[in-house]
């Protein structure tokens, strides 16, 4: 991989690929995963045949779309939690930010929701980051966790449930709901009720609307 200067042709290829991924994410977000390929390419403003230049099957495209969405969100979380020294707060902040994401970037959120629990046990995506953060907190004596793997699926399930609820109850205050669930989870992880509440009351960094599109990671 001699890190070629991505010459015009490659950039064009990348652009059509990105367009397909974007369209796929939009369709997944609408729950329309069972659409003809032609419809996807039209949504991407790309010729029908172009699809097969990049993917062999619809499922393959969807997989790439989800992977892209996960990378985007994970990178954002990492960026926004650097510099925090309390591992418990890193966890809390990540979770709270993810909760807010459901409203700020509904498309991305819905993509995550659609693939749901598959992602919780997947070895790529958010799972490794979550495991890293939880184990760090355990080592630091902040969390009391009997089984990291079980805690992770519980937390992942809670996150998905929360997102699902937020999408179905648009009138509910997303920040308040997310903070409460985070607080509940911190208690579950061994923090005292008082401390859990305190951590979830701390201010959060702003969640910019610089939604990174596909093409950033691939």
Partner DNA sequence: TTCGTAACTGACGATGTCGTCATCAACGTG
Partner DNA sequence: CACGTTGATGACGACATCGTCAGTTACGAA
Residue 37 is a binding residue for its own copies (CB under 8 A) = no
CA distance 43 to 28: 12
Nearest CA to 174 among 119, 108, 73, 95? 95
> What's the DSSP call for residue 62?
H
Listed in sequence order, the residues at least 6 apart from 79 whose beta carbon sits closer than 8 Å to its beta carbon are none
- Residue 150's binding partner among its own copies, DNA, none (Cβ under 5 to 8 angstroms by kind) is its own copies
Residue 52 is a binding residue for DNA (CB under 7 A) = yes
The least CB distance from residue 158 to its own copies, in Å, is: 4
Binding residue (CB under 8 A) for its own copies from 63, 84, 107, 116: 116
Residues 85-124 that bind DNA (CB under 7 A): none
Residue 27 is a binding residue for DNA (CB under 7 A) = no
CB atoms within 10 A of CB 153: 14
Binding residue (CB under 8 A) for its own copies from 180, 195, 204, 212: 180
Tokens coding 206? 């702003």
Tokens coding 194? 């008082």
The least CB distance from residue 69 to its own copies, in Å, is: 18
Residue 149 is a binding residue for its own copies (CB under 8 A) = yes
Residue 201 is a binding residue for DNA (CB under 7 A) = no
- Mutual angle of helices 126-139 and 58-81, in 10-degree steps: 30
**Would you say 89 and 202 are in contact if contact means Cβ atoms under 8 Å apart?**
yes
CA distance 124 to 197: 31
Interface residues with DNA (CB under 7 A)? 7-10, 12-13, 16, 35-38, 46-50, 52-54, 57-58
Interface residues with its own copies (CB under 8 A)? 34, 113, 116-118, 120-121, 146-147, 149-151, 153-154, 156-162, 164-165, 168, 177, 180-181, 183-185, 187-188, 190, 193
């Amino acid at each position: 991989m001699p890190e070629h200067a991505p010459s015009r042709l490659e950039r064009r290829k990348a652009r059509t690929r990105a367009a397909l991924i974007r369209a796929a994410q939009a369709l997944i977000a609408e729950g329309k995963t069972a659409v003809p390929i032609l419809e996807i390419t039209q949504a991407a403003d790309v010729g029908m045949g172009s699809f097969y230049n990049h993917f062999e099957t619809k499922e393959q495209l969807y997989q790439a779309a989800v992977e892209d969405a996960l990378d985007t969100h994970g990178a954002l979380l990492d960026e926004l939690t650097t510099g925090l020294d309390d591992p418990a707060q890193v966890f809390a902040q990540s979770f709270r930010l993810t909760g807010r994401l459901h409203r700020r970037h509904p498309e991305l959120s819905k993509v995550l929701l659609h693939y749901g629990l598959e992602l919780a046990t997947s070895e790529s995506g958010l799972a490794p980051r979550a495991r890293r953060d939880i184990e760090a907190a355990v080592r630091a004596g902040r969390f009391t966790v009997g089984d990291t793997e079980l805690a992770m699926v519980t937390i992942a399930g809670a996150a998905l449930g929360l997102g699902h609820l937020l999408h179905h109850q648009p009138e509910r205050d997303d920040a308040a709901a997310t903070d409460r669930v985070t607080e509940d989870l911190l208690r579950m992880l061994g923090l005292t009720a008082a401390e859990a509440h305190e951590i979830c009351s701390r201010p959060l960094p702003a969640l910019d609307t610089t939604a990174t599109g596909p093409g950033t990671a691939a």
